[in-house]
Structure 1
Amino acid sequence: MTRIAICLIFFWASLPLLAQDTAVYKPNQIRDFKLVPLPAIASNPANGWLFGIAPSATWRMGSPENTHLSNMVGNLLYTTKKQWLISSRSTIFLAEDSWILVGDWRFFITSQPTFGLGSTTPNSPEENPNQLGVWWGEQQMDYNWIRFYETVLKRISNSKFYLGVGYHLDVYSKIENFMEDEITQELIFSSDFYNQTKEFSLDKNTVSGITLNAVMENRDIAVSPYETNFALVSYKINPEFLGSNQSSSTLLVDYRHYFPLSETRKRHLLAVWGYGNFLVSGDLPYMALPSIGYDMFGRSGRGYAQGRFRGENMVYSEAEYRFPLQKNKETFGGTVFVNAASFGSKLTGENLFAKINPGYGLGFRVIINKENRTTISADYGFGQKGNSGFYLNINESF
């Protein structure tokens, strides 16, 4: 089911509830529903320009005094690189924040440049000096991608802490590597070499697993926070009996903190983000390895294309200064940001932190719904060695 259909279901389900007295809150009924059916014009280096619709919805499942806003962001997009991107990503808080449901559903018919493993890969294609006969640098890849992630988290007493389990499925199919330019030298593509070495299929791979999750949710509004913090620790087990090509396990850690810099203008703040994704045991297919820009909303690594860096282990950090641009209003705002990422690879022998890839940039923000802080964000980021990109999205980067 596409994101549009999901949003329409919530919209129609909410109509009779919106007509009721808003002072009476029944647990787990949809209240204060707001749907923004935005036409979508977006951009990033991996997809080019994207056109379509990107509905964004917020609602409550309980009293505003003790229940966070739930949110859902959807996309039905076609890009200038002839890609189809259909997705639905949601965070739903039940009454009194007693449960959190987190969903990430995608169906992509897409393409992407890939550069090999580690943090030292060059921009232009060349023979890997450490793996003779293998391409290094930019190589093109077409593929289809189905993702179904759903996590259920239970609140621990009256705290901000949650524990839960999830099911995560990624299916990569119709994988095809090619070079955009006519190159006479015949070498093995990086992804093919990795998959052959690790005994994965070259054209279809599946990762299916259960996650054990611990979360601290202390943000005021998840999509565009002004204060406090968020933390996630997720251990994923991918056994063959659930459909994975090979058994493996991974560990993901994610921490975000928001420091208000003004008592009267909470939009004036410093936001910091730390993110790590590590292969603990076994092997993953090439496309499922930790990579830049593959967090839930694809916001890491501004200044580089999605997938620009990849490896068995990654560490990422970012700091962003956010500020209002108007003296007495909050509609327009700006940001400046810096980030850094490092990737390690057992296959290439490159250690984590041996090479760090920094990025930086600035952005412009427009709040189109003040109550739920739905925001249009436009950023331009710069990376090393001529890497750069324009990013147009909904809501804050993190």
Structure 2
Amino acid sequence: MAGKVFELFGKPVVLFVLSMLLYYGSHAQNDSTVHRDTTCVQKDVADLIRAALKMPPKKDTGKKGSIILVPIIGSNPATGFMIGVGGQYGFKLKGEKTNYSLISGSVQLTTKGQKLLLIKNTIFSKNNKFILTGDWRFQEYSQSTYGLGTNAPEEGGLNYHFNLLGLETTDDSLAQPLRFNFFRFYQSISFHIKKSFYIGTGYYLDSYSKIVDEKLRLEPGNTLLTSHYVYNKHYGFDTAKYTVSTLNFNIVSDTRDNLINAYKGHYFFFNWRTSLKLFGTNSNTSLFYGEWRSFHSLSKRNPRHLIGFWLMGDFSSKGELPYLILPATAYDQRSRSARGYTQGRFRGNNLVYGETEYRFPISPCTGVLGGVLFANATTASNPQETVKLFQSIQPGYGLGLRIMVDKKTRTNLAVDFAFGNKSSGFYLAASETF
């Protein structure tokens, strides 16, 4: 039902809202801290509440941190009803030159007994002498796969899909549901070399166990082979469990003025991983990952009026990784790539992703409300090379509202609506997408 509604009314609604956001964005004031009216200063939700209650402005206590919590409520066929809480803690350690750090995470439970625990960290030490970067996950979970390459499934088109917070809310005859336990431990440290340049190392672990391929049937006369089963059998991987354990070496360049919500600067990350059979890896492998983000002001008077670019490339050799550990959409640190599609919708041995986002203020004086317009594209290859990189590209686009909940750390509550190829989604988060 949701899919049909979005299919009928999604595009007209999006075009209308886009035009309204562009109108208000173009008529917004030209400075986020000191506007044309010099009495205008950046405010947040707490300031508006205190003003409505006729309370005096909150005094600056000197604290350099804030905690934001967001409820998570949803439902999909694989997990049943889901409830949880997500949030982030933005803070700054001592030191005049120290950047803001961020720890985010979520806890989710479902009526089908599934559990999700996610913790992400990016921590700048005093005066940015080193950076800690981590991605920890434990999931007893269900997720569908659709085959490899951005044209999958090759045998036909999907029905219209709607997803909530990146999770599936509808079944499809061409989806291949999997149940599994997933444990990820990514942690690295990068040391300051010069200016914004860092070099570091770390340890990455991905482990899948208790994998149940729900559509797989191997009985004679009643056989149905799935992409997960065929791929893993072809390349000699177990179909019930596997682990990839790697050392990584990375290069980082970070000139962003704020990790949580950048107005200017760039972020570059290059990572090379090599496997460790000593720690249980099923195969030898080398993986390469690169990422670029940049933020460009469109107004000298208002730094919140900007355009951002995000580019990722994730590359592996043919047949060196088990199926679920292959590069896939929305498996980046923040799980935010490819808005408009469910997590893991596109997967392949090589994957390239690009996105651009236009950000602008809406509130004429307080700066509490802002908006975004975005477009993205994903391309992934399959190991048989019937689909090569850039041969098939899947687009996404959408719009969002930003609500300033903490002006000191620039933390926004992000509410996004996104649309893809026969797919759409709603996203709620306590930070920017990139």
> Is the TM-score greater than 0.5?
yes
Q: Displacement of 1:342 after TM fit?
A: 0.5
Out of 18, 40, 52, the position equivalent to 2:84 is: 52
Change (3 A) 1:231 1:79: farther
In the TM superposition, 1:333-372 aligns within 5 A as 333-347=370-384, 349-372=386-409
Alignment of 1:92 onto 2:128? no
Match of residue 61 from structure 1: 93
Distance 2:143 2:326 in 1: 15
Q: Secondary structure at the match of 2:224?
A: coil
Q: Displacement of 1:350 after TM fit?
A: 1.6
Q: Secondary structure at the match of 2:223?
A: coil
Q: Displacement of 1:83 after TM fit?
A: 3.4
Check conservation: 1:43, 1:392, Cα contact below 8 A: no
* TM-score, normalising length: structure 2: 0.77
Stretches of 4+ aligned residues off by more than 3 angstroms:
42-50, 79-83, 122-126
Match of residue 342 from structure 2: 305
Aligned amino acid, residue 226 of structure 2: F
Match of residue 67 from structure 2: 35
Q: What is the number of equivalent residue pairs in this alignment?
A: 355
Match of residue 275 from structure 2: 238
Change (3 A) 1:55 1:383: closer
Gaps of 5+ in 2: 1-60, 158-172
Alignment of 1:187 onto 2:224? yes
Check conservation: 2:362, 2:371, Cα contact below 8 A: yes
In the TM superposition, 1:284-295 aligns within 5 A as 284-295=321-332
Moved more, 75-84 or 206-215: 75-84
Distance 2:262 2:80 in 1: 28
Check conservation: 2:73, 2:84, Cα contact below 8 A: no
Q: Displacement of 1:111 after TM fit?
A: 0.9
Q: Displacement of 1:239 after TM fit?
A: 2.7
Q: Displacement of 1:42 after TM fit?
A: 5.7
Higher relative contact order (Cα pairs below 8 Å, separated by 6+ residues): 2
Match of residue 160 from structure 1: 196
Match of residue 259 from structure 1: 296
Match of residue 352 from structure 2: 315
Change (3 A) 1:224 1:328: same
Q: Deviation per CA, 1:194-242: give whole Å up to 9, x if none.
A: 1111111111110100001000011111121111110000001113223
Distance 1:355 1:81 in 2: 36
Gaps of 5+ in 1: 1-20, 23-30, 127-135
Distance 1:79 1:331 in 2: 34
Change (3 A) 1:339 1:346: same
Q: Secondary structure at the match of 1:66?
A: coil
Q: Secondary structure at the match of 2:324?
A: helix
Q: Deviation per CA, 1:103-125: give whole Å up to 9, x if none.
A: 11111111111001111113987
Aligned amino acid, residue 241 of structure 2: K
Match of residue 387 from structure 1: 423
Q: Displacement of 1:44 after TM fit?
A: 9.7
Change (3 A) 1:338 1:122: same
Aligned amino acid, residue 187 of structure 1: L
Alignment of 1:109 onto 2:167? no
Out of 230, 233, 240, the position equivalent to 1:196 is: 233
Give identity over the alignment, percent: 37
Change (3 A) 1:333 1:124: farther
Q: Secondary structure at the match of 1:346?
A: coil
Moved more, 113-122 or 73-82: 73-82
Aligned amino acid, residue 71 of structure 1: L
Q: Secondary structure at the match of 1:186?
A: strand
Out of 86, 100, 122, the position equivalent to 2:153 is: 122
Distance 2:297 2:327 in 1: 31
Moved more, 342-351 or 326-335: 342-351
Q: Displacement of 1:367 after TM fit?
A: 1.5
Moved more, 311-320 or 386-395: 386-395
Match of residue 138 from structure 1: 175
Q: Displacement of 1:355 after TM fit?
A: 0.6
Distance 1:224 1:394 in 2: 11
Q: Displacement of 1:77 after TM fit?
A: 1.4
Q: Secondary structure at the match of 2:64?
A: strand
